[in-house]
A = this chain, B = another copy of it.
Amino acid sequence: MAEETTRPPAARVGITLLDIAKEAGVHPSTVSRALDPSQAHRVREATRTQIRGVADRLGYRPHLVARGLQTGRTATIAFVAADLSNPFVTPIIHGLTGAIQNDGMMPVIAETQDDHDTFAAILDHMLSRRVDGMVVAAARLGDREILESAARIVPLVLAGRPLEGSSLPQVVHDDRLGGELAAAHLASLGHRRVAQLHGPADVANFPRRAAGFSQHASGNGMVEIASPGMANNPTAAEGERLMEDLLATGMEPPTGVFAHNDLMALGARSALGARGVRVPDDVSLVGYNNLPLVGRLTPPLTTILYPSLEVGRAAGELIIELLGGEMVKTHDLEPELIARGSTRPLTADG
């Protein structure tokens, strides 16, 4: 038998367990065990170190695909976002990645663009990929069925966007309370005439924020001006449009405005500015999310803190617990008012 004295020194692609076994003069299965910490005890110290040596020398890299086929696990978590350009999702990805990377798992990412068919296709694709779990931040009302059928196949947690009438595990954020906080804040500043800029109704956060706000408002003698429709998407452009529509009605404008997220608030501010309406002098403006930098705007935006980073992290931890067979259902994270310069007490002329 010819003895191979020199080999390409390192990191050749395609070194397999079999190569190592041959080189070390043992059976592939022995190599597999020697390299697997949880099975290493099944192989003698001496053989083990020898095998490890050969593996290192040859630059062995386990073939995770092959392993995945055998074990049924891919060390992969799907992350499904509606719109990756929304600054709101970055911290979620960041938190998620941080929570799972230690366990050797990595997120694989897709974007639905808030389109139902795309959403369905992506879920399907992720199942085909045999991801070990899914974190979905793109849920809309109409997606419930496919979400639940996916959840029957693979651990799935909702993050960022809850889903009305579903009992899927999720990272819960109390949007209703957030809405209340916004109303309470405006109330405490003396505002009576208020309005909301509504995000799309099929994204469950927004109706909840709206309900919380309305409830507190009506319970405290505030007058809520009916808003001119709702946004098709929770974007700055839509916020601007809604605000314009509101101003265009000709009726006496509100002194306090609650936009259902920061992007819409920014859009609203543009619309107000274009009409010569000043924030906060003429109108107090409250957003939602506390996006990066909104605290450095002028005026700095008063907003409700949405703890995106923690949501991402919690989602990751939830998934990992689910994978471990635990039955955890939810994880709670509270909203918090961050009062800044875009709101101020109502004055006589305001």
| A residues lining the B interface (CB < 8 Å) | 11, 13, 61-66, 68-69, 74-76, 84-85, 87, 89-91, 93-94, 97-98, 101, 104, 106-111, 124-125, 127-130, 149, 152-153, 266, 291-294, 296-298, 309
Contacts and interface: CB of A to CB of B under 8 A. Distances in A.
A106 to B, nearest CB: 5
Contacts of A108: 76, 106-109
A302 to B, nearest CB: 15
B69 A98 contact: no
A51 B101 CA distance: 41
Nearest to A91: B85
Contacts of A75: 129
Contacts of A293: 87, 266, 291-294, 297
Nearest to A11: B149
Contacts of A107: 108-109
22 contacts: A11-B149, A13-B127, A13-B153, A61-B124, A63-B69, A75-B129, A84-B93, A84-B97, A85-B91, A85-B94, A85-B309, A87-B292, A89-B90, A106-B108, A106-B110, A106-B125, A109-B109, A266-B293, A292-B293, A293-B294, A296-B297, A297-B297
A93 B91 CA distance: 13
A93 B107 CA distance: 13
A110 B97 contact: yes
Contacts of A64: 128-130
A61 B127 contact: yes
Contacts of A97: 84, 109-111
Nearest to A294: B293
A125 to B, nearest CB: 7
A95 B60 CA distance: 34
A286 to B, nearest CB: 17
Given A97-B84, A107-B109, A153 B11 contact: yes
B74 A65 contact: yes
Contacts of A61: 124, 127-128
